[in-house]
Amino acid sequence: MSDVTDLMVEKHAESLVNVTVLDISYCLKITYKGLEAFGKHCKSLIHLKRNMPPPAWETPTKVVASKIDDREAMIIAGKMMGLHHLELGFGHFGDYGLDAIFTKCKALTHLDIQGCWSVELEGDLEDKCERLVVFKSPWFDDYDNRCSSDNDSSGADAGEETSSSDSD
């Protein structure tokens, strides 16, 4: 975790005008106010990583109780319209914030919103996500696919493929 705060960001963001990639993942003391300062000054930004830690598994009631907060998504939509890559893992925004990002960030090609449980992909949001070059949905269903493909490529079957290709 980081000790960087909104106040620090507001003080120093103006010197980051040429930054193209910014990773403020796990910076819990940066809020939408800090994001707004980055958006105001980092006009060259094309890749933003704003992944947050997953909720503690021991307290699942906090996940249910967490409220949708679209403020960060709205700042990204309004101030960072040139983004191509965006990672917002475990964000607290919902469909409204995601739709604003799609509406304003026309250059977006890569979006990772894994763990964003408040996003439901209602309306045409799912279609918009599917049009991206890379999209990682709020749900971790592709983890199972990776595990099963790992199993398929190991063991006896993989050995048979290797030996048959060696003989060619």
Structure tokens at 17: 């005008």
pLDDT at 161 over 70: no
User: Please, which pLDDT band fits residue 156 given cuts at 50, 70 and 90?
Assistant: very low
Please state which CATH number belongs to domain 6-137. Answer: 3.80.10.10
Six token digits for residue 136: 């990682």
pTM of this structure: 0.79
pLDDT digits (tens, 9 = 90+) for 98-151: 999 999 999 999 999 999 999 999 999 999 999 999 999 998 764 444 444 444
> Domain locations in the chain?
6-137
Per DSSP, the residues of 23-41 read E-TT-TT--HHHHHHHHHH
**What pLDDT score does 104 carry?**
98
- The CA-to-CA distance between both ends of the chain, in Å, stands at 53
- Tokens 């890749």, residue located: 47
Q: Which of 67, 71, 86, 83 lies closest to 30, judged by CA?
A: 71
Mean pLDDT, residues 15-37: 97
What confidence category does residue 159 fall into, taking pLDDT thresholds of 50, 70 and 90? very low
pLDDT per position as a tens digit, 58-113: 455 554 446 899 999 999 999 999 999 999 999 999 999 999 999 999 999 999 99
